[in-house]
Amino acid sequence: MNKVIRTKSFMLLFSLVGISFASCSSDDNSNMPVNESVTLEEINGAYTGKAKIGQGNVVNEVNAAFLVKENVLSFEEFPIKEIVGSVIEDKSKVDETVAKIGKVEYKIDFKATLNNTKTAVIFDFTPKALELNVPEGEAVKKVVANVVAPVQGAFVKQGISVLSFQVDVDKITVDGTEKGEFVKIKYVFHPFAKKSK
């Protein structure tokens, strides 16, 4: 079930995505967890968590999952409700329309590098446009969502392995025409835990 979270909470979460990770000193007598050493190979695997999807002053939370393998992060089912809701006229039919479209696969290419202390893997994403055929009445609209990565992603290990990143949809075209008065959609995946084998 989706829940609405205040904008202030979302902005705090968003700011956490861009934090650069570093090891803590072992002799500072704090209880802060220490980031363990990681390798590039450790990023590969399946991840699950709750995505925060913000548009305007509303943030919804949905379960999501993705796979990281060979410099590609792939979704078997990318959350599209906010995209669909931005292009159909009858807002009461958003859920019905999303169900008609079904699962939407989406892949994001990335380049991964270790940070200087080898306690985090940094992701530079190069998203491609997400294309959807959205039924509305007797017509089917060709929708192209422009996806961007405003911040780098990061993989760290503190007992468990987690990956955090964000992508935004900053523009939508419908049948070749840019959607006017479109409100940017922010997808925050933070933190997503890697499944153990």
Q: What is the pLDDT of residues 124-139, one digit of tens each?
A: 999 999 999 999 989 9
**Per-residue confidence at 168, pLDDT binned at 50, 70, 90?**
very high
Q: Which pLDDT does position 34 carry in this prediction? A: 82
Task: Give the separation between CA 57 and CA 7, rounded to whole angstroms.
Answer: 6
Which of residues 144 and 18 earns the better pLDDT score?
144
Task: Give the separation between CA 80 and CA 190, rounded to whole angstroms.
Answer: 18
Q: Which pLDDT does position 196 carry in this prediction? A: 84
pLDDT tens digits for range 65-124: 999 999 999 999 999 999 999 999 999 999 999 999 999 999 999 999 999 999 999 999
Residue 101 makes CB contacts below 8 A (sequence gap 6+) with 80, 84, 132, 133, 134, 135
pLDDT of residue 7 exceeding 90, the answer is no
Task: Give the separation between CA 111 and CA 35, rounded to whole angstroms.
Answer: 21
pLDDT tens digits for range 10-69: 333 333 333 333 333 344 445 667 889 999 999 999 999 999 999 999 999 999 999 999
pLDDT of residue 158 exceeding 70, the answer is yes
**Per-residue confidence at 5, pLDDT binned at 50, 70, 90?**
very low
